[in-house]
Amino acid sequence: MVLNSYFPRIITLLRKERGLSQKAAAEDLGISQALLSHYEKGIRECGLEFVVKVADYYDVSCDYLLGRSPNRTGETITVEAIPEPDAAGKENAFRGSLLPTLNKKLIANSLNIIYDILQKCKCKALTTEISTLLNCAVYKSFRILYSANSKNPQGLFAVPQKLSGGLSSAAQDTAEACALSLSQGEGVEDMEPLEKTAAPALSPEQISEEYPLFASSLFNLIQGAEQKMGKRKSK
């Protein structure tokens, strides 16, 4: 059975998460430690029967082991299944400083405006590229936090830590360039550009009128970002 690069990384991550040695895991799975080592390093490929055995052993799906699903159950995520940003839970309970709550609201509210505009543009390629730009920003931010503790298992990521910053920045730059071209009505490879008639007509007044709940968040985010850039509006 031909496996991809995900399988060796994921089975190594799962074993380390459980605090198991290669020897212990190999014994439980009925193979030699040397063979398991080869599987984890991607030197040898296993059969489907072993994939199923590993899935049962770690209580995950075969799709997860093969990198076909990011969810351990193998479930395909749907729009309805994604919790709202303000869903109750300990992950939303900020303690101490109000700064995380403030910035979270500024970003979330601004994204509401961005995605509403994208929906009105009806340009799938533009939505994809801007989403990639934003996704990479979140990825880079989380990667920085995750790598702060050297003991955190790096098996969660397919890209090595030393390469993650450069590669994610390159992906961002590419997405930004494509999005800019598409927004100007220029096609990129096989991606259809934004129709000239669908280009959004925007102004501070129009944004304030159309998004009364979120406009101030966007304006504050713009001001804060430009202050970090060292740019302030001239009088």
* DSSP line for 112-134: HHHHHHHHHHT-HHHHHHHHHHH
Residue 1 forms part of a structural domain: no
pTM for the whole thing?
0.73
Helices and strands in the chain: count of H runs, count of E runs: 10, 0
Question: Which three-class secondary structure state does DSSP give residue 149?
Answer: coil
Q: Are residues 115 and 191 in the same domain?
A: yes
Are 136 and 128 within 8 A, CB to CB? Answer: no
Residue 235 forms part of a structural domain: no
The residues near 221 (Cβ < 8 Å, ≥ 6 apart) are 106, 107, 110
Instruction: Report how many domains make up the chain.
Output: 2
Q: Chunked in runs of 10, what are the mean pLDDT values of the chain (235 residues)?
A: 75 90 95 94 91 94 87 70 57 63 91 96 96 96 94 84 93 97 93 93 93 93 90 56
Residue 27's domain is classified under what CATH number? 1.10.260.40
d(CA 124, CA 179): 11
Alpha helices (H) in 59-214, listed in sequence order = 62-65, 99-121, 124-146, 161-183, 204-210
Question: Which three-class secondary structure state does DSSP give residue 32?
Answer: coil
Residue 81 forms part of a structural domain: no
Quote the pLDDT of residue 157: 87
Per the structure, the complete domain to which residue 181 belongs is given by 90-228
**Tokens read off for 62:** 């075969």
**Tokens read off for 42:** 């991607």
Q: Are residues 128 and 218 in the same domain?
A: yes
Quote the pLDDT of residue 37: 95
The 10s digit of each residue's pLDDT in 134-161 is 999 999 999 999 999 988 888 788 888 8
Quote the pLDDT of residue 175: 97
d(CA 119, CA 133): 17
Quote the pLDDT of residue 100: 84
Quote the pLDDT of residue 122: 94
Are 200 and 124 within 8 A, CB to CB? Answer: no
